[in-house]
Amino acid sequence: MIDSYEIAFKQMKNEVNRILSTSPYIIREYTEHLAETSGKYIRGSALLICAEREDDTIHENGVKLAAAIEILHLATLVHDDVIDNSDLRRGGITLQKKYGKRTAVICGDYLMCVALKLVASASDKENYLDLEIPDYLSHICLGELNQHINNGNFDLTVYQYLKIIYGKTAALFEASFYAGAILSGTDEKVKKKYAKLGRYVGMIFQLTDDCMDFETTESVAKKPVQSDYEQNVITLPLIHAFRNLKHLRKKAEEEGITRKEINEGVWKAGGLNYTRAIAKKYYKKYQITLDELAITEDKRARLISVLDKAYRVF
C-alpha cells in the first residue's frame, strides 16, 4: 500500500514521465516532445483520490492505473490535434505541427497500446475485471466519430450534443473515478456513485471548455480558441443561438457566418449563460452524489477540488 495521496500522485507523474522518456528509440523523439508539455493530471489525480481508503492508503496498482489513464488521455489529445489541425496544445507546438499528421497518428496509436499494456500489468488483475478500460476507450472513439458525423449540423439538438460530449470527454473521467472506486475496495452500489461523479465532472469540464472558446484568450487557454466553428464543430452555446435566432441559423446554412456574427449571436441569445446553467446542473448533481458517500473530510475536500477545477470560470 502507498501511505498517502501525495506520494501516489508524485509516483504517478514520475511513471508517466518515465514511459514518455524511455520509449523505443524509433519513437522516443516524439514522446519526449510530448513530455515537455505536461498537463494538470486531473484524471489521474481523480483516480487516486477515489482510490483512497479510510486509512488514507492507496493500493499500489493505483499508480499504474492513474498513469495509464493519463497516457490514454494524451493519446486522445494527439489524435484530436490531427483531426482539428491544431498548432498549439498546452502552450507548446503540437506533435502533428512539428512532425506531421502521419507521425502523430501513429504516435497516438502507440500511446493507446502503452496505456492498455500498463493496465494489463496490474497485479491481481482478476480483482479488477469490472474496470472495462477497453469499453471506455470505445466510448471515446464513438464520441469523436459522432462529433465528426455531426460536423456542420445546424440542427444538432441539445440531447444529441450531450451524448457526443459524454463519449468524447466524460467517459474517460467516468473511467477514472470508477477505477479508483474499484481499488478502494468499496461495494458495487458505491462504485456506481463514483462513476456518476466522474460522468458529471466530465460533462462540466467539456461544457466549460465550450465557453472558453468564446471567453478566453489563446495565451490563457494554451490552445487555439475561437476555432470550434471554424472546425465545423457545433457546440452548445451556438446550438442555443441557432435555436433562438432563426435568421442566424438560416444565414449559416445558406451563406455562412463570420466569427463576429457567431460571437454576437451567442452573446445576444445568451448561449454562454445557457451553457453555464447546464454545467451548473451537473455541478449540483455532483454535490448531491458526493454527500451520499461516507468518506473522510480530506477525501471530500479533494473531490470538491476536482469539481472546481472542471467548473472553470474566466
The pLDDT assigned to 28 comes to: 94
pLDDT mean across residues, the chain? 90
Cβ(197)–Cβ(288) below 8 Å:
no
**Could you give the CA distance from residue 303 to residue 183 in angstroms, rounded to a whole number?**
16
Mean predicted confidence (pLDDT) in 172-197:
93
Take residue 22 and report the three cell numbers written for it. 524511455
The pLDDT assigned to 179 comes to: 92
Count of other CB atoms within 10 angstroms of residue 191: 19
Provide, rounded to the nearest whole percent, the portion of the chain with pLDDT above 90.
Answer: 68
Mean predicted confidence (pLDDT) in 75-100:
88
Q: Does 128 score more than 80 pLDDT?
A: no
Instruction: Give the least confident one: 38-47, 54-63, 211-220.
Output: 211-220
At 314, is the pLDDT very low, low, confident or very high (cuts 50, 70, 90)?
very low
The pLDDT assigned to 219 comes to: 54
Mean predicted confidence (pLDDT) in 75-84:
91
At 9, is the pLDDT very low, low, confident or very high (cuts 50, 70, 90)?
very high
- For the chain, which domains are there? 5-310 (1.10.600.10)
Cβ(161)–Cβ(133) below 8 Å:
no
At 127, is the pLDDT very low, low, confident or very high (cuts 50, 70, 90)?
low
- 151, 278, 136, 145: which is closest to 203 by C-alpha? 278
- 45, 234, 97: which is closest to 89 by C-alpha? 97
Q: Does 248 score more than 60 pLDDT?
A: yes
Q: Count of H helices and E strands in the chain? A: 16, 2
